[in-house]
Amino acid sequence: MDTEKLLAGVIPEINRLLIALPRITITEAAAVIGEGGGFEAAVTRRPRDVAVPHPLGSPMPNLVGLMAELMERTTPRVYLTRGTILDVLRRVAQRDAMVQNPFEFARVAVSVLKAKLVHQLVEGIKYEKLGEWWEMQRILDEDVIELFSRYTVPADRSLYDTVPCDSKVERGFAQALERRMDVRLYMKLPPWFEVPTPLGNYRPDWAVVLDNPDGSEPLLYLVAETKGATDPTALRGTEAMKIRCGAAHFGSRQYKTTGALEGVDYKVVKEASEL
């Protein structure tokens, strides 16, 4: 990790955030006591919020320890040394927020730190071959035809005679692969096929084997992720970063990355014609 690069991205963003004072809600009510001593009527006034700073003289939380604990409770867990967290506290300009609302400051600061840290990890991630192989029998024994799949496609070019699909996009993708003459084999990848990433494990959707366009003997292998939106900026932040990790794992001309595997091209596509 490049600590200075991390801090250079974190400090300005924390300084731009508006961290409000803690607020409490006050609800007032007026009650009328009748002659018999009971309540005859009650009028409730509209609740109002009041900003209340951290009480003077009250013990301040250990911000370094609080932020470290919050980072460890995130999913996935993210760790920074306490020295790096202390550097953040020393450099930010939000000193009043630290004193007046330390818990909210810690929450938003950890949110910024986690986002920047994961982004830096994904930017520099590299995968290496382990020399391990999956046995074909594990794929053939896997019960990939889920009983409650929303959609299924009859298949002649897959490992099974039925392909389970989770969405209309996937169903259309499988149907289009069935119609293509250059498809040698394709399959919906089993649930255990995962790529480890800093944001948790990532599951690509498909493996497709195509004839090589230049007519040479080696086949072109593609691992495709089908999404309704193929523009990475239209995907959610975590999903987009996991896809970047997938590109770094397999290698991708689309993302201009070299992966740990040869003869594999990773793509994000919406339709089979984009392969």
For 174-214, how does the pLDDT look when each residue is reduced to its tens digit (9 = 90+)?
A: 999 999 998 989 988 888 888 998 888 888 889 999 887 77
Q: pLDDT, tens digit, for every residue of 36-79?
A: 767 665 656 665 666 666 666 677 889 999 999 998 887 667 77
Higher pLDDT, 195 or 237: 195
pLDDT at residue 14, as a whole number: 92
257: left (phi over 0), alpha (psi -120 to 50) or beta: beta
d(CA 59, CA 230): 51
pLDDT bin (cut points 50, 70, 90) of residue 13 is: very high
d(CA 187, CA 166): 14
Cα 31 to the center of its chain, rounded Å = 52
* Residue that the structure tokens 């509209």 belong to: 46
CATH of 136-274, one of 3.40.50, 2.60.120, 2.40.128, 3.40.1350: 3.40.1350
* Residue that the structure tokens 């009028």 belong to: 43
**Which sequence spans correspond to the domains of the chain?**
3-123, 136-274
* Mean pLDDT, residues 262-275: 85
Q: pLDDT, tens digit, for every residue of 106-144?
A: 999 999 998 888 888 888 899 998 888 877 777 766 555
pTM of the model: 0.70
pLDDT at residue 168, as a whole number: 86
Q: List, in sequence order, every beta strand (DSSP E) within the chain.
A: 23-26, 29-33, 39-44, 48-51, 151-154, 162-165, 183-188, 206-210, 220-226, 264-269
Return the bridge partners of 156, or none. none
